[in-house]
Amino acid sequence: MRILVLGGDGYLGWPTALHLSRAGHEVGVVDNFARRQYDYEMGVDSLVPVCQLQQRVRVWEEVSGLRLATFVGDLTDATFVSRVLREFRPDSVVHFAEQRSAPYSMIDRQHAVYTQVNNVVGTLNLLYAIAEIDPTIHLVKLGTMGEYGTPNIDIEEGFIEITHRGRTDVLPYPKQPGSFYHLSKVHDSHNIMFACRIWGLRSTDLNQGIVYGQETPETVLHPDLATRFDYDGVFGTVLNRFCVQAVVGHPLTVYGSGGQTRGMLDIRDTLACVELACTNPAEPGEYRVFNQFTESFSVGQLAEMVVDAFPGRVEVEHLEPPRVEKQEHYYRAAHTKLLDLGLVPHLLNQSTIASLLAVADRHRDRVDPAAIAPTVQWRSTASTLFTAGSPVSAGSRPTGTREAETSEA
């Protein structure tokens, strides 16, 4: 197949592009490098050094003998989106190209507006381009389990059958997003579902859980092929943060009681899920939803697993939660559709955590402890961390400050 990966320079987009290329697909990569500029804005960096996209592509072609087409531009530029689709002519488009951090979207008004404009407008431009150029293109969109929130009933895969006053219908599952970022994903879902209904497009919405892991069979072929490892308080994920904290001798910072429960999956399973969605496309006019995770864990459980896996002594510290969320809640979500297509999950175990600890230890000299603290407060309309800054866009210079070193949650 010809598969276009949007956001192909990012944490998941890059290894996805390599995986699909190695599997025999013709792959194109699109990015505007905004994710790299967020690091400049916040004064942080990936724990694992990441090469520039051009170098990555050259090394991949040398190592594998396979070509990656590259396109540099912004999805909020409708002309650029249309040009790329006409030039590459994909069978499937895998859409990772969005601002994906909940804390980043909650910094202040500017960051909330930027997140929603970037994400929603970019996806709308893509939908219009597909409809106008080739409605048979299958859109594989990376959504999030965070769209659902934490309801006190089972979470279904996108839709739920409701009986009300004697009448029954299948409706989109109610959404209770927890940030302006998650809200942007809900808006995307509604827009994509609408486009499928009125234009006959076909799309798979992958509501993904929290991804862990940094190495894939392709990224370990050469150091220049490595993907990101984020541990900071804005873009870092909880398991990454715990592993880094353990390695540098910092207490594991659990927000609140630690009962917050989320779906999670190994990075290798993300790649497999995306390929399964591409090679088993939705029908024309069909909007379908796959819940893309393999297991559920509470934050407290993850902390305990890191404590057990780390060979030294590790302490756990409970902090006042920066987010507005339930600390203890019911969580049971369906995730059978990808399993039915053949997904064989990599489950989280002590060996997996040990590999993450090893990555953190190899790069421990790059750890900035001040970057780990939760500096964004959901209850505030303006963060003290970024009062002098604003979101960056492609090609601009960052304007954010680095006051995180003196900020405390």
Domains belonging to the chain, first-starting first, are 2-376 (3.40.50.720)
In the prediction, which pLDDT does 383 show?
Answer: 63
In the prediction, which pLDDT does 397 show?
Answer: 36
| Three-state secondary-structure class, residue 384 | helix
Whether 181 is catalytic: yes
DSSP code string of 252-279: EEEETTS--EEEEEEHHHHHHHHHHHHH
Alpha helices in 74-121 (DSSP H): 78-88, 102-105, 109-116
- What does pTM read for this prediction? 0.94
Q: 228 with 10: CB under 8 angstroms?
A: yes
In the prediction, which pLDDT does 390 show?
Answer: 61
144, 204, 253, 261: the catalytic one is: 144
Q: How far apart are CA 365 and CA 244, in angstroms?
A: 11
Q: How far apart are CA 265 and CA 346, in angstroms?
A: 8
Q: Which residues pair with 30 in a beta bridge?
A: 6, 71
Sheet holding 138-144, edge to edge: 68-72, 26-31, 2-6, 92-95, 138-144, 202-208, 287-292
173, 181, 231, 287: the catalytic one is: 181
Q: 213 with 267: CB under 8 angstroms?
A: yes
DSSP code string of 152-163: SS-B-SSEEEEE
The string of pLDDT tens digits covering residues 285-298 is 999 999 999 999 99
Q: Which residues pair with 345 in a beta bridge?
A: none
| Three-state secondary-structure class, residue 41 | helix
Whether 352 is catalytic: no
In the prediction, which pLDDT does 301 show?
Answer: 98
Q: 118 with 98: CB under 8 angstroms?
A: yes
Sites in the chain below the pLDDT cut of 70: 383-390, 392-409
Q: In angstroms, how far is CA 111 from the centroid of its own chain?
A: 17
115, 123, 150, 185: the catalytic one is: 185
Largest CA distance in the chain: 64
Q: How far apart are CA 406 and CA 318, in angstroms?
A: 19
Alpha helices in 310-377 (DSSP H): 337-340, 350-362
CB atoms within 10 A of CB 132: 12
